[in-house]
């Protein structure tokens, strides 16, 4: 039955109207936002992503939007990661009605009611958040726990008389005030007890999307905060040449490539970089693409959640988030996920990250619950990506810029004043010229691509020549190993990955014939009080002894290299300044190579050590301050850098130069 647009929005505000979602999504084919989609249907709660109910599409059927899932951050428990379990449900709106409205018609129909907001306050003041930044850099990054971390801060408030009309009004404000968002949305879920949960936001970032088996991810990092007079090319040039901002983006590209390689049959291809321009700020971004035969729900599960809202390595970042954040994240840093089918019955998935979002709850009691007397609790959460080059003041300012759009929609901040050139002579909005159109900006963006490995800039080709056998990769809790698998394949090695704590690892090592790769991971290589490090130390001793005695050859990467170097008698030290996401040119046994480092610890060599190892047939390549870049000898090799990183320009050739001599014996 045809839907009357004039009554559609009014029906959503009627008592007992049920759950609804309004979405305005960016069309990835055109880069232009589409219509406002109005979705309605019953809501169910499920335990796992695999439980999200989906019908089976048949070839020739009409394209469909079947289900909208609200995926909380606590869903990471499915991957065995540590998180605060705050009970936030995985809810699914099963779509039984979908209507598309042109933007102009939606704006005419949507209410523009007052939003009576009060008692607005941050959970951490600026000084307290700045202290968190200092502690993360000094106590986590410098100690090797990881390369970067995202720690949130919240702004809480109360909305009196909150209703679906209020929710729709907030959505309308974001449609008008924000631009450049990937999704602008409102999702309203009433409870049976009179409570409700509403999410209203404008997220700039794709979590993951999938169509016809193509998977796309969209790492966004680096934030240019517009000055009071509006964005200008000179300020953007300064931002684009800031080493901290450049390295921050490269790090999240590496981290999301790990995920892409775990779901993509042939790895992933990096596209970009691009500039994402929004109302209050601009971000730099890349796009990753790959092909997958996995179910869309499995793709969603394997990509929980982006480094841009967690950190890297992901499992270690989750532990740090749990230590530094006193409570659960709710839906913040989780995802919305619209699952459906195309006209031929193939699965589709479109999912933004839940950032720049107001989470509003009515009814109930306790943290984040209702405020009583018909009022609602509202929370806006935001985080900054903290890296070794972070300044506390800069990260504090970044959190303010990121939250500004939603807080303005709520009325917690005054509207932006008209900027010069914002209107034409007739008072109508002037056509905005994209900042990226400036030739200097385009050149700077293109120069970032020149710093990336060509291996990841084009589809990975199958290895040429005879296969070199099989490799067993030991994952030390860093899924860089998923990228290593594809790099090894380019060298003709079929690779199998097992975690360091896999119950079957010892038996697999006993049965294996071929290369063993001891992989990267976080942590202090000498901290035997850490059960993970103690296990890895024992493995390194076992594998090195076997390799030196003529058994399976051993290659150590990053942490694996440090553990091997320790077994060879080289002292290990914490670096004065960590190399996390750092690209350097090094001398690798007489060959100049540009490579990517992620390390807070290093092995060091003096003349006596070099002479002793040379007598054993072991060569050592050193860099600045006598840091050991690589070692190689009978049956063993180790590299401090990551050949699989996008920052290592010729990773396949470097890997082959190390692996082939090991396999020849």
Active-site positions read: 558, 642, 644
Which pairing describes strands 554-557 and 515-518: parallel, antiparallel, or unpaired? parallel
Rounded CA separation 250/138 (Å) = 21
The CA–CA distances, whole Å, from 635 to 13, 565, 567, 571, 659 equal 72, 14, 14, 21, 10
Q: Are residues 223 and 283 in contact, defined by beta-carbon separation less than 8 angstroms?
A: yes
DSSP character string of 146-167:
-SEEEEEEEEEEEETT--HHHH
Rounded CA separation 185/171 (Å) = 6
Q: Are residues 168 and 335 in contact, defined by beta-carbon separation less than 8 angstroms?
A: no
Q: Are residues 35 and 102 in contact, defined by beta-carbon separation less than 8 angstroms?
A: yes
Tokens of 360: 């509003």
Strand partners, 94: 67
Q: Which residue has the tokens 């929004």?
A: 278
The DSSP code for 643 is: T
**Angle at which helices 651-664 and 480-490 pack, to 10 degrees?**
70
Which residues are CB-neighbours of 394 under 8 A, at least 6 positions away?
none
Rounded CA separation 483/497 (Å) = 11
* Closest residue by Cα to residue 471 from 662, 250, 185, 243: 662
Tokens of 278: 């929004």
Helix (H) or strand (E) holding 499: strand 493-499
Which residues are CB-neighbours of 627 under 8 A, at least 6 positions away?
575, 602, 603, 604, 640
Q: Are residues 42 and 91 in contact, defined by beta-carbon separation less than 8 angstroms?
A: no
Which residues are CB-neighbours of 330 under 8 A, at least 6 positions away?
72, 73, 86, 88, 359, 368, 379, 381
């Amino acid at each position: 039955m045809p839907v009357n647009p004039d009554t559609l929005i009014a029906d959503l505000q009627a008592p007992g109207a049920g759950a609804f979602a309004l979405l305005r999504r960016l069309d990835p084919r055109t880069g232009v936002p589409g219509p406002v989609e109005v979705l309605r249907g019953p809501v169910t709660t499920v335990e796992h992503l695999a439980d999200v109910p989906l019908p089976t599409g048949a070839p020739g059927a009409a394209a469909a939007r079947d289900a909208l899932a609200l995926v909380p951050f606590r869903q990471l428990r499915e991957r065995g990661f540590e998180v605060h379990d705050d009970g936030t449900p995985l809810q699914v709106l099963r779509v039984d009605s979908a209507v598309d409205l042109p933007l102009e018609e939606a704006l005419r129909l949507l209410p523009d009611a007052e939003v009576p907001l009060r008692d607005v306050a941050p959970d951490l003041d600026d000084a307290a958040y700045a202290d968190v930044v200092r502690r993360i850099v000094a106590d986590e990054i410098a100690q090797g726990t990881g390369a970067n971390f995202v720690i949130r801060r919240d702004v809480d408030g109360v909305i009196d008389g909150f209703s679906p009309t209020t929710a729709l009004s907030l959505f309308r404000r974001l449609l008008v005030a924000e631009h450049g968002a990937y999704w602008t949305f409102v999702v309203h879920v009433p409870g049976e007890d009179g409570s409700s949960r509403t999410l209203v936001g404008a997220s700039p970032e794709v979590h993951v999307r999938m169509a016809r088996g193509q998977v796309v991810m969209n790492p966004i990092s680096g934030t240019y905060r517009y000055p009071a007079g509006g964005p200008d090319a000179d300020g953007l040039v300064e931002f684009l040449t800031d080493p901290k901002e450049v390295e921050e983006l490269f790090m999240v590209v590496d981290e999301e490539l790990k995920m892409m390689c775990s779901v993509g049959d042939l790895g992933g291809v990096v596209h970009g970089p691009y500039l994402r321009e929004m109302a209050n700020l601009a971000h730099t971004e890349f796009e990753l693409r790959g092909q997958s035969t996995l179910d869309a729900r499995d793709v969603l599960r394997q990509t929980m959640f982006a480094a841009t809202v967690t950190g890297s390595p992901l499992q270690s970042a989750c532990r740090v988030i749990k230590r530094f954040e006193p409570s659960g994240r709710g839906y913040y840093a989780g995802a919305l996920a619209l699952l459906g089918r195309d006209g031929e019955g193939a699965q589709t998935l479109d999912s933004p990250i839940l950032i720049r979002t107001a989470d509003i709850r009515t009814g109930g009691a306790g943290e984040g619950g209702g405020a009583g007397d018909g009022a609602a609790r509202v929370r806006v959460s935001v985080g900054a990506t903290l890296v070794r080059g972070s300044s506390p003041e800069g990260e504090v300012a970044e959190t303010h810029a990121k939250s500004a759009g939603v807080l303005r929609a709520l009325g917690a901040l005054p509207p932006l004043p008209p900027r010069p050139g914002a209107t034409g002579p007739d008072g109508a909005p002037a056509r905005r010229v994209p900042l990226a159109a400036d030739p200097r900006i385009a050149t700077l963006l293109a120069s970032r691509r020149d710093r990336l490995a060509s291996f990841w800039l084009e589809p990975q080709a199958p290895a040429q020549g005879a296969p070199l056998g099989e490799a067993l990769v030991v994952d030390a809790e860093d899924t860089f190993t998923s990228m290593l698998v594809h790099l090894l394949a380019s060298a003709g090695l079929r690779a199998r990955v097992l975690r360091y704590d896999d119950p079957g690892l010892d038996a697999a090592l006993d049965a294996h014939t071929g290369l063993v790769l001891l992989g990267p991971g976080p942590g202090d290589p000498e901290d035997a009080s850490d059960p993970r490090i103690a296990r890895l130390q024992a493995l390194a001793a076992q594998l090195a002894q076997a390799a030196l005695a003529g058994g399976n050859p051993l290659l150590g990467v990053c942490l694996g290299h440090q553990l091997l170097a320790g077994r060879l008698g080289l002292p290990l030290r914490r670096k004065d300044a960590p190399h996390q996401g750092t690209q350097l040119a090094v001398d690798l046994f007489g060959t100049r190579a540009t490579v990517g480092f992620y390390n807070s610890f290093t092995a060091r060599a003096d003349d006596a050590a070099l002479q002793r190892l040379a007598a054993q047939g072991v060569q050592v390549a050193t860099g600045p301050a006598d840091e050991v870049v690589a070692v190689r000898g009978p049956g063993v090799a180790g590299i401090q850098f990551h050949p699989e990183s996008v920052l290592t320009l010729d990773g396949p050739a470097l890997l082959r130069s190390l692996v082939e001599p090991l396999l020849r014996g």
